[in-house]
Structure 1
Amino acid sequence: MSNLEQGQLSTRDYILHLLKTKGAMSTKELTDELGITVMAVRRHIQSLERDKLIDSKMVRQSMGRPTAVYCLTEHVEDFFPRKYHILTLELLDELEEHFGASAVEQLFEGRKDKLLKKYDASMQGKDLAERVSMLADIQNENGYMVELEKINDEQYLLKEHNCPIEQVATKYQHACRCELKLFESLLGDAEVTRTDCLAKGGQRCTYSIKKKKK
């Protein structure tokens, strides 16, 4: 990493980059690399351990006592960029080129049907409030950063501040249509309307959910 790139990172972030690029390192090695005091390095290490981003293990030395080295945990995965969407788009483009747009749409429909099968049983016997709450939990677990606002007992706003498939949905809008249909199926007796969409340049994806009139 260049000095410029290092300067653009906090010390905490730079430690993560060092462990990613160099592998496990001791406190002394980190101190030498960072050029700060041992106490400062230890404070950052304690913070990163507390957040479960790094872990320690004891390593035997050729001479002297074993020493602790630090390495990354699986919880740090989201810290480093992974451009999975590029591969996904390339594969979808290939599918569309060889089999047509309908093949891509069938793929999204199949994904929607699998998600419906996965979650529908747990929704059965629940009222609208419970279903909406469960839907928010499902979307949060899948990385959508949901904010749920209750307007009244029969109306809610479900706001998704993040879309894990935004780059894909921007090009293939059928993904968004399938999400809307999934919500309608899971919520049962509710009218679901998307009023804002990240894939169309919106600030968030917002769904208005209203109980259907009898």
Structure 2
Amino acid sequence: MNQEADVPTRKILVTLLKTKGAQSVGELAKQLGITEMAVRRHLNTLERDNLIESRLVRQAMGRPTHLYSLAPAADELFPKKYQHLTLDLLEELEALAGQEKVDLLFERRKDRLIGRYEDRMAGKPLSERVTELADIQNSNGYMVNLESKEDGSFVLQEHNCPISQVANQYNHACTCELAMFRDLLGSAATVERTECLAKGGSKCSYVIQPAEE
């Protein structure tokens, strides 16, 4: 079996474990129509990637057998509609309590994030704070590119927005992100957003400059 064929086979294997629960090598081989040796090869790859786990089960007759099931990390392989749910909930809140309550929700989220990250900024010069900020956004899925300029300024670009569907409908999410950047970087810097994904840009781009003495 070539490498290109391996990927869809592993997808089918993972789907079987998702829909039918724990399975033995023999059971998987029958359903996939391949040899047990081939199944073990796929299972070894999935186990290496921490996507499946196995347990030894004793039987009334014969030798114990291994049953394979999905590990918690495999949950990320399946479609999620979190943003749709989030938008539905925000629309319900807006209908019940008004736009101001929705904005307040984003403000509270911003304050919570600042509280989570402010210790990482404490006592550091601006350049290290900017690097920390880029690392924070990268870890949250924003696909950040950070560029240092000769004049001491920085350009931070986000090529992905994990909350793009929410931000497209509720621009206050973008306002809060800019406010969070300014708060985390402190009075030593000025931060301006020059491009925004939610407003039709190809990325979110921020210019960070040292504040004038």
User: Is TM > 0.5 for Structure 1 vs Structure 2?
Assistant: yes
The answer for the alignment partner of 2:148 in structure 1 is 150
The answer for the alignment partner of 2:41 in structure 1 is 43
**Higher alpha-carbon deviation: 72-81 or 174-183:** 72-81
Amino acid at match of 1:192: V
Residue pairs, 1:95-174, within 5 angstroms: 95-152=93-150, 154-174=152-172
Pairwise CA distance, 1:23: 0.6
Give the gaps of 5 or more residues in structure 2: none
Amino acid at match of 2:189: A
The answer for the alignment partner of 2:59 in structure 1 is 61
1:162-200 C-alpha deviation (Å, 9 max, x unpaired): 322111111101001100110011012222222333323
Contact conserved, 1:112 with 1:182, CA < 8 A, in 2?
yes
Amino acid at match of 1:90: D
2:178 pairs, out of 177, 180, 183, with: 180
Q: Tell me whether 1:197 sits opposite 2:157 in the alignment.
A: no
The answer for the alignment partner of 1:88 in structure 2 is 86
Contact conserved, 1:58 with 1:67, CA < 8 A, in 2?
yes
Task: Give the match's secondary structure for 1:118.
Answer: helix
**Higher alpha-carbon deviation: 82-91 or 33-42:** 33-42
**Higher alpha-carbon deviation: 191-200 or 32-41:** 191-200
Partner Cα separation in structure 1 for residue 67 and residue 151 of structure 2: 55
Partner Cα separation in structure 1 for residue 124 and residue 28 of structure 2: 54
Partner Cα separation in structure 1 for residue 89 and residue 73 of structure 2: 28
**Higher alpha-carbon deviation: 109-118 or 193-202:** 193-202
Partner Cα separation in structure 1 for residue 151 and residue 77 of structure 2: 39
Contact conserved, 1:120 with 1:186, CA < 8 A, in 2?
yes
The answer for the alignment partner of 1:4 in structure 2 is none
Q: Given the superposition, is the C-alpha separation of residues 161 and 117 from structure 1 closer, same or farther in structure 2, using an over 3 Å criterion?
A: same
Give the gaps of 5 or more residues in structure 1: 1-6
Partner Cα separation in structure 2 for residue 31 and residue 159 of structure 1: 47
Task: Give the match's secondary structure for 2:207.
Answer: strand
1:114-151 C-alpha deviation (Å, 9 max, x unpaired): 21122223312111111011112222232323332333
Partner Cα separation in structure 1 for residue 52 and residue 19 of structure 2: 14
Partner Cα separation in structure 2 for residue 112 and residue 77 of structure 1: 28
Pairwise CA distance, 1:153: 6.9
Partner Cα separation in structure 2 for residue 45 and residue 83 of structure 1: 28
The answer for the alignment partner of 2:73 in structure 1 is 75
Q: Given the superposition, is the C-alpha separation of residues 192 and 31 from structure 1 closer, same or farther in structure 2, using an over 3 Å criterion?
A: same
Partner Cα separation in structure 2 for residue 168 and residue 199 of structure 1: 9
How many residue pairs get aligned? The number is 207
